[in-house]
Amino acid sequence: MTTIQAVSPVDGRVLGDFPVSDQAVIQQQMLAARAAAHIWAKRPVAERAKILAKLVPLLMAELDSICELISLTTGKVRTEALLGEIYPVLDLARYYQKHAANILSYRGIPTSPFAFPGATAGIERRPYGVVAVISPWNYPFQLSVGPMLTALFAGNAAILKPSELSLPIGQLIVDLFKQLDLPEGLVQWLVGDGETGAQLIDASPDLVFFTGGLNSGKAVMQRAAQHPIPVMLELGGKDPMLVFNDAQLPRAADAALYGAFCNSGQVCVSVERLYVQQDCHDEFLSLLQQGVAQLQVGHDPQGDLGAMTTERQLAIVEAHFQDAIAQGAQASGPLEKQGNYLKPVVLWNVHHGMRVMREESFGPLLPVMAFADEAQAIHLANDSEFGLNASIWSRDITKAERVAGQLEVGNWAINDVIKNIGHPGLPFGGVKKSGFGRYHGAEGLRSFTYPVSGMTSRSHLPKEPNWFPYSEQRYQDFKGYMDFVYGSGYLLQRIKRNWPALQAFREYSAFDLTQRWQNLKLLLSWKRDY
């Protein structure tokens, strides 16, 4: 049997050997998931929420051990594991515990008493069935459990395919869910690389939720289209941060350092492009240089940046750095590497012809570029194929919100960075090549269901006006009715010119047009006399 060995990027220790799931196993998992989803979907949302809420105390009881495993698996420091991986999951679970039943409740829709006499209409939300969650290596806990929880609250089963670089986290996740009172087979996982992910899609889940890079997202979409299966893609970013000269500069500089270098820059919403207004560019750059010199790399208690997770990502960061330097960029220091650890670097004198300003670096590089005015800031920020997140820094909130409204992104924050994506009530997702679909918030929960529209007629009429037989007179009557509803002119004018047609449909109306017409004439007469 083929196995994948998990090795820690921190110290090279072996974290386990995991047998790869073959196609037969995946098919069996899919059958079990469908049976479990059928049971789970029948339970009221409030009951599902009560069961899933018990994940919160399980996580709280094991915070230290979970953070330690995440740190060993990914290379991130423990504080980053605590705040970036576990806290958002706790917040999301609590949010849906409180609001899922209301979000997914039946919604009545008004009906026209003339066109649909005696009818009521509405929309219900139904779970898709089995959701395949294909998650990345940079935040393997949060970006697995978040969509899995959302799928489960919505009434689906979930099959997790974690990155082959995060298998200990995948095992941890399913072990946690096994402690909840869930139907057998409702939560499962499988082991493998991209080919295994393709086999999972070929097993025909009902929805695919993918988080990862652009090229992998294209492959997932292409594979799902063969069946076809709906997909939600959370892809990469090249997120801009705009600092205006009226910003609180020390706060903005600290935010830029955190936004660029948390998790060693391996965050889809990292600050990967920093634009600073020309008037304060030199002052702000000085603050960045002072700040980056104080950051600590390593896993001791004071460590700010942990290890890079993969050698492949190390190579990409180095290529972006060397390309920028070759084209005239200046740097706060050399790109120092010790094992899998990289010292963070601030770059300036950069331009959009450099790879570091156009491609996702996903590492501890912070390129800084000046802008002249508001219009140029917006132009530079939008000059990217990605559109995930952005931050705007100014004491003038009206201006900042005006700028935010013109940025081609799925999310933005003013005078804060990254934290907005963790808000459980705000839908998260990108535009352009950053993907499509949303999770978090009400929109995110509904995205894991599909709407079913229904209408109930309580009419006691012998027949409806649109039923057979047709005639020329019927055609003219319908034209008159449509002119009455949608035509030009005041209400009185539309009534007068279409009165014969309205009389023809009187028997179908929920109200007596003749009496309404008499009341209207009396009202008009009263207004004329007085």
Tens digits of per-residue pLDDT, 205-240?
Answer: 999 999 999 999 999 999 999 999 999 999 999 999
Average pLDDT rounded to a whole number, residues 451-458: 96
**Closest alpha carbon to 237 in 97, 69, 520, 433:** 433
The span from the CA of 11 to the CA of 34, in Å, is: 41
Q: What is the pLDDT of residue 503?
A: 87
Judge whether 437 and 445 are in contact, CB under 8 Å: no
Q: How far apart are CA 377 and CA 403, in angstroms?
A: 9
**What is the bridge-based pairing of β-strands 119-127 and 330-331?**
unpaired
Q: Which of 173, 178, 188, 148 is nearest to 34 (CA)?
A: 188
The arithmetic mean of pLDDT across residues 294-322, rounded, is 95
The predicted-structure confidence for 352-372, as pLDDT tens digits, reads as follows: 999 999 999 999 999 999 999
Strand pairing class (391-393; 413-414): parallel
Query: Mean pLDDT of all residues in the chain?
Result: 94
Residues 403-422 as b or e (16 or more Cβ within 10 Å = b): bbeebbbbbbbbbebbebbb
Q: What pLDDT shows up at residue 519? A: 53
Average the pLDDT over 73-83 and give the result: 97
pLDDT greater than 90 at residue 1: no
The pLDDT of residue 520 is 55
Tokens of 496: 């007068």
CA distances from 284 to 176, 278, 321, 369, 374 (A): 45, 10, 21, 11, 18
How far apart, in Å, are the Cα atoms of 319 and each of 139, 292, 325, 343? 23, 21, 10, 15
Partners of 208 in the beta sheet?
132, 231
Place 407 in a pLDDT band, splitting at 50, 70 and 90: very high
Q: Which of 102, 96, 76, 73 lies closest to 5, judged by CA?
A: 73
For the chain, the domains span 23-235+442-453, 239-419, 472-529
Look at residues 396, 499, 437 and name the one whose alpha carbon lies nearest to residue 224: 437
For the stretch 482-508, pLDDT in tens is: 999 999 999 999 999 999 988 888 777
The pTM score is 0.93
pLDDT for position 530 = 43
Of 91, 17, 84, give the one whose Cα is nearest residue 55. Answer: 91
Residue 414: C-alpha distances to residues 168, 191, 237, 366, 411 (Å): 37, 40, 18, 19, 11
Q: Are 448 and 207 in contact (CB under 8 A)?
A: yes
The Cα 316–Cα 311 span in angstroms is: 9
Distance CA(314)–CA(326), nearest Å, equals 18
- Those residues whose C-beta lies under 8 Å from the C-beta of residue 487, and which sit 6 or more positions away, are 494, 498
Peptide bond into 228 cis (omega under 30): yes
Predicted pLDDT at 360: 97
Element (H, E) at 5: strand 3-7
The reported pLDDT for the residue numbered 522 is 53
Tokens of 83: 């705040």
Angstrom distance (rounded) from CA 3 to CA 21: 9
Domain 239-419, CATH homologous superfamily name and number: Aldehyde Dehydrogenase; Chain A, domain 2 (3.40.309.10)
Short-list 362, 402, 357, 414, CA closest to 384? 357
Q: What CA–CA distance (Å, rounded) separates 288 from 252?
A: 10
pLDDT of 399:
98
Q: Which residues are catalytic?
A: 234, 268
Cβ 464 vs Cβ 507: under 8 Å: no
pLDDT above 90: residue 340:
yes
Contacts of the segment 435-441: beta carbons below 8 A, 24+ positions apart: 435/217, 435/232, 435/233, 435/234, 435/235, 435/388, 436/232, 436/233, 437/209, 437/231, 437/232, 437/233, 437/234, 438/232, 438/410, 439/146, 439/147, 439/150, 439/209, 439/232, 439/234, 440/92, 440/146, 440/150
The pLDDT assigned to 15 comes to 97
- Express as a percent the part of the chain with pLDDT over 70: 96
Q: How confident is the model at residue 517 (pLDDT cuts 50, 70, 90)?
A: low
Q: How far is CA 296 from CA 75, 266, 487, in A?
A: 14, 16, 71
pLDDT at 463: 86
Q: Is the peptide bond before 469 cis (omega within 30 degrees of 0)?
A: yes
Confirm if 191 and 4 have CB atoms less than 8 A apart.
yes
Per-residue pLDDT of 38-62, as tens digits, reads 999 999 999 999 999 999 999 999 9
pLDDT band at 525 (very low <50, low <70, confident <90, very high): low
d(CA 160, CA 185): 12
Residue carrying the six token digits 């986290």: 169
CATH code assigned to 23-235+442-453: 3.40.605.10
CA atoms of 293 and 505, how far apart (whole Å): 81
pLDDT in tens, 260-279: 999 999 999 999 999 999 99
pLDDT at 459: 85
pLDDT given for residue 523 in this prediction: 52
DSSP one-letter code for 82? I
Tell me the β-bridge partners of 282: none
**Each residue's pLDDT tens digit, 128-176:** 999 999 999 999 999 999 999 999 999 999 999 999 999 999 999 999 9
Q: DSSP code of 233?
A: E
pLDDT number for residue 302: 87
* One-letter amino acid for residue 292 of the chain: V
The residues, ordered by sequence, that sit 6+ positions from 80 with a Cβ below 8 Å of its Cβ are 262, 263, 306
Dihedrals φ, ψ of 385, to 5°?
A: -80, -10
The angle subtended at Cα 392 by Cα 274 and Cα 308, nearest 5°, is 45
Sign of CA dihedral 199, 308, 253, 372: negative
Predicted pLDDT of residue 529: 46
Q: What is the pLDDT of residue 509?
A: 61
